[in-house]
A and B are shown apart, each in its own frame.
Chain A
């Protein structure tokens, strides 16, 4: 995904130098490896800051491991900031960014995001009904601390739309794609523990995730392409990237398709602007709809987020909010679902979708060059599948499989692995909240409106809200209904 709703031209997958995709793998693996220090008696991430649900703000901050308890609470926040700053600065240098500007932007992103997380942890917002007594409060919104994600998104939207100078000043640090991909690499390890403990359920989840996306690719794309061509009279150059953008995985798919059918670069860029904006709209609506109507089918809800919400960041983020909302509602009914499964199914579906983008683009390139716009001497190279493959998936699979293997073959190490992944997971949450904030900042509704999105937006809204969301729900229901996360 690009870093701006209005200028989404990220480096092409063919770029030889390091890109955000590989960088997210490097940062995610670094954090993962540091967390494994626990196996060797070295608690290397125990000082990472955590925020408890609070009524007294002075006591909210803490650290993830007891080994570091008792230090000044602000130290944990400062240490976490410095650690991430150093890691991200090294990354910015490798990306050949203006490191000074990046650090300024990253600092703003980190602190505004953490402020949002802190606000979201206020007991009146976050506490679930069973915890109100402990906090001595009579009511709460029961949104869990994940409410911080929504607050971060709102703060980002306010800055992106009403404070353009502030947004411009932090632009270099606004990298939703880098943050979410890093978070997904870390998430792989967390889900690996979960999967090893529930092997049968995890296998079913993966198989059904693949089934769901195969069906979604074939049905979604064809219908959106048909609607755009037949009823909105779009040319092929516009209809194909639009169909991929709305139906598959937003920005990456639109860009891959545009390139596959030899569309002018401007076309997928414009489609991408729309994708980013509507992903935010979905992010604000669908998790709450899922809580209202699918709280008894949590895995359907998770898969639905993965299938219906476009862009990696918004989809996995929606999964996280959906999980928080549904678990809170289930808790009020006396059901305590294990954490990780609902968001896990969203992430799994999204990762599979991403993995197939290259194959889909390859197929379209072949169909276009052989059947639709035949060009002499235009050969489609299988290598393009590799070039378009999102590399962060390797990081996700590596952490997932490593942890899965450890827990599966050495059950005595499960407790230690859980503790290690718990530490890494705190940093994953920080990357998540920075993703939400960044998505908000890049979603410039006003600018897009001024561009005259008219007909393009109409076909997008019609297909997304009239078809994709409901068919996505149907497919999720078909493959995931009746499956429930294990109880905690």
Chain B
């Protein structure tokens, strides 16, 4: 059997609307990433200055 090509597989892809739970996942992930960035940068500057 022929190996499937990327283009063929992509063309078969069906549209799936973005669910509310996915939006939550995205927002929570970005917000916690940014908050962690601020917190950890403060911790490293305050306690681990080289």
Contacts and interface: CB of A to CB of B under 8 A. Distances in A.
Interface string B2-36: 00111111100111101101100111011011101
B48 interface: yes
A456 B14 contact: no
Contacts of B15: 233, 235
How big is chain A's contact interface, by range?
A: 35 or more
A448 B5 CA distance: 9
Most buried by A among B5, B8, B10: B10
A201 interface: yes
Contacts of B8: 452
B29 A454 contact: no
Contacts of B43: 211
Interface string A205-219: 001100100111111
B46 interface: no
Contact of A270 (B6, B14, B30): B6
Nearest to B50: A204
Contact of B19 (A204, A372, A452, A482): A372
Contact of B50 (A235, A451, A483): A483
Contact of A451 (B7, B25, B32): B7
A336 interface: no
Contact of B37 (A229, A371, A475): A475
Contacts of A455: 10
Contact of B33 (A215, A372, A451, A452): A215
Given A214-B40, A266-B4, A230 B18 contact: yes
Contacts of A122: none
B8 to A, nearest CB: 8
A85 interface: no
Contacts of B13: 233-235, 237-238
Determine chain A's interface SS by DSSP, over half rule. helix
B34 A235 contact: no
Contacts of B25: 222, 225, 367, 371
A483 B50 CA distance: 7
B10 A454 contact: yes
Contacts of A75: none
A371 B21 contact: yes
Given A208-B44, A266-B9, A371-B21, A235 B16 contact: yes
Given A223-B30, A372-B19, A215 B40 contact: yes
A334 B18 CA distance: 55
A389 interface: no
Contacts of A226: 26
A479 interface: yes
B5 to A, nearest CB: 5
A179 interface: no
Interface in A454-488: 454-456, 475, 478-479, 482-483
B44 A479 contact: yes
B6 A479 contact: no
B6 A451 contact: yes
A207 B25 CA distance: 26
A417 B19 CA distance: 57
Contacts of A215: 33-34, 36-37, 40
A296 B44 CA distance: 20
Nearest to B37: A215
Contact of B41 (A211, A229, A448): A211
A237 B16 CA distance: 10
A134 to B, nearest CB: 35
A218 to B, nearest CB: 3
A218 B29 contact: yes
Contacts of B30: 218-219, 222-223
A372 B18 CA distance: 11
Interface of A: 200-201, 203-204, 207-208, 211, 214-219, 221-223, 225-226, 229-230, 233-238, 266-267, 270, 273, 367, 371-372, 448, 451-456, 475, 478-479, 482-483
6 contacts: A200-B50, A221-B29, A222-B26, A267-B9, A451-B5, A475-B37
Interface of B: 4-10, 13-16, 18-19, 21-22, 25-27, 29-30, 32-34, 36-37, 40-41, 43-44, 48, 50
Given A204-B50, A208-B44, A479-B44, 4 more contacts: A218-B32, A222-B33, A372-B19, A453-B7
